[in-house]
Amino acid sequence: MDVWKKVPVREQEPQVRATNFEEVCLGYNKEEAMEEAERCLNCKNAQCVKGCPVAIDIPGFVGQIKEGRFEEAYQTISKSSALPAVCGRVCPQESQCEGKCVRGVKGEPVSIGKLERFTADWARENNIKPQPATEKKDHKVAVIGSGPAGLTCAGDLAKMGYDVTIFEALHEPGGVLIYGIPEFRLPKNDVVAKEIENVKSLGVKIETNVVIGKAGTIDELMEEEGFEAVFIGSGAGLPRFMGIPGEQANGVFSANEFLTRNNLMKAFKEEYDTPIMKGKKVAVVGGGNVAMDAARTALRLGAEVHVVYRRSEAELPARVEEVHHAKEEGIIFDLLTNPVEILVDDNGWVRGMTCIRMELGEPDESGRRSPVEIPGSEFDLDLDTVIMSLGTSPNPLISSTTKGLDVNRRKCIVAEEENGATSKPGVFAGGDAVTGAATVILAMGAGKAAAKGIDEYLSGK
């Protein structure tokens, strides 16, 4: 065994997986996990824990894996995280826990994400559940949104004994875990649904199909339905468009629409009713994780796919692993390229896109090199589908229907970082609704902080 390198993880072959929606990464088995756990140096002042937004006792659970005590490892993780099978799969570990691992100074860091995933998968396969509260508290708390922030906040509050109800606008709970992140990165029935079952087994109630702000307001929940505190974890689901000519043509989609059709509505499956445009030649505009997800989804539906991004590879905001997987599968990267117009045929359909080449200018005050157009470098791409993946912002529905809730100029809810408290007493918020689009684990961290904040608020009442 080479202690400087991670125990490799088994994956589906690129040529095979490019044609299916099965999970790409197959994860560690027991032997592989125990071997990888051996690489952990069990640091006294563990830096990895500081890199984890929910501060999981990493040396603790990795040590338990080392000795084959998987159930204990699961309970160790569960103290800090409600969704380990999710986080082990989708966290950007390279910039979090693994980015801080001392093993990474000279070699490769310990594969903490894959070990977390192994533990959660093992627990699920062996029907191990997190432990519910033994004492109930006589306080009702409402959670708006069932994404990572809401699920974490609800799970933590239920463990403390609170009576928690989650209100979800869509027909299935999970937020971006269900509608955004594709099946091949995060299996829905086997992983997400089971992890949500675990949160429910703690006593959390989930009401789907309730759009707070339309079917009742937060004020009504507090004044009429007896909820003493509310956590807003409604995310940032409002898609941005570029505002270029041709953007309303048939065949132009937001990544949210494209992914929702495919992931939530399962349009890729024959027996489901929701249609999806399969496209022969698709451009995805943007370079984040959502762009990678959209591109790899379009590829699996049978298209030739281009990722069009205005900066260079080094600036791609997507996870390194996702970019690597996308390239292996045959996604074409058109870097330093920016769309200027979508070309439309006589029937209103996309027929192509005019792009312009970019170069990186001098670093600005923040040290970031902004892309600058190269005059006269316009060229056309032939396309039938364009997917805009330019980021999202918070939906104003909740903030505009709740009295006394402050938002900033980006329409994000203003909340304290350490306890999630907003300008309105009893109302807390966290996740993308506060920060704008960020990561699953940061939303979970915010949900956790708010659960603590709500407990302090209700205990002091």
Residues in contact with other proteins by the rule CB under 8 A: 169-171, 208-211, 214-216, 237-239, 241, 243, 247-248, 250-251, 253-254, 256-257, 260-261, 265-266, 270-277, 347-348, 392, 395, 397
Taking the complex as a whole, the smallest distance from the CB of residue 120 to other proteins amounts, in Å, to 26
The values of phi and psi at residue 363, to 5°, are -60, 140
Stated as kind and residue range, the H or E segment containing 298 is helix 289-300
Measured from the CB atom, is 59 or 148 closer to other proteins?
148
- CA 210, 215, 219, 224: dihedral to nearest 10 degrees? -90
| Side-chain-side CA neighbours of residue 50 (13 Å) | 9
Task: Tell me the DSSP string of 17-59.
Answer: HTT--S-SEEE--HHHHHHHHTT----TT-HHHHHSTT---HH
| Side-chain-side CA neighbours of residue 215 (13 Å) | 10
Report whether 372 contacts 270 (CB < 8 A). no
Measured from the CB atom, is 248 or 377 closer to other proteins?
248
Measured from the CB atom, is 33 or 144 closer to other proteins?
144
Measured from the CB atom, is 73 or 170 closer to other proteins?
170
Taking the complex as a whole, the smallest distance from the CB of residue 86 to other proteins amounts, in Å, to 20
Report whether 92 contacts 319 (CB < 8 A). yes
Residue 428, classed as helix, strand or coil, is: strand
Measured from the CB atom, is 24 or 212 closer to other proteins?
212
Taking the complex as a whole, the smallest distance from the CB of residue 354 to other proteins amounts, in Å, to 20
Taking the complex as a whole, the smallest distance from the CB of residue 215 to other proteins amounts, in Å, to 5
CB atoms near residue 51 (< 10 Å): 19
Measured from the CB atom, is 272 or 379 closer to other proteins?
272
Taking the complex as a whole, the smallest distance from the CB of residue 255 to other proteins amounts, in Å, to 9
**Which amino acid is it at 445?**
G
Distance of CA 143 to the CA centre of its chain: 18
Task: Tell me the DSSP string of 87-127.
Answer: HHHHS-GGGTHHHH-THHHHSPPP-HHHHHHHHHHHHHHTT
Measured from the CB atom, is 277 or 407 closer to other proteins?
277
Taking the complex as a whole, the smallest distance from the CB of residue 386 to other proteins amounts, in Å, to 13
**Which amino acid is it at 424?**
K
Report whether 131 contacts 75 (CB < 8 A). yes
CB atoms near residue 333 (< 10 Å): 18
Query: Using CA atoms, how far apart are residues 286 and 307, in angstroms rounded to an integer?
Result: 7
Measured from the CB atom, is 125 or 220 closer to other proteins?
220
Measured from the CB atom, is 10 or 410 closer to other proteins?
410
Measured from the CB atom, is 208 or 459 closer to other proteins?
208
Stated as kind and residue range, the H or E segment containing 444 is helix 440-459
Taking the complex as a whole, the smallest distance from the CB of residue 353 to other proteins amounts, in Å, to 18
| Side-chain-side CA neighbours of residue 15 (13 Å) | 0
Tokens of 366: 């923040």
Taking the complex as a whole, the smallest distance from the CB of residue 348 to other proteins amounts, in Å, to 3
Taking the complex as a whole, the smallest distance from the CB of residue 431 to other proteins amounts, in Å, to 15
Taking the complex as a whole, the smallest distance from the CB of residue 237 to other proteins amounts, in Å, to 4
Taking the complex as a whole, the smallest distance from the CB of residue 85 to other proteins amounts, in Å, to 23
Measured from the CB atom, is 79 or 194 closer to other proteins?
194
Measured from the CB atom, is 99 or 216 closer to other proteins?
216
Burial of 171 (0-12, 13-18, 19+ CB in 10 A): exposed
* Sheet containing strand 140-144, strands side by side: 205-207, 163-167, 140-144, 229-232, 427-429
Taking the complex as a whole, the smallest distance from the CB of residue 18 to other proteins amounts, in Å, to 18
**Which amino acid is it at 47?**
Q
Residue 387, classed as helix, strand or coil, is: strand
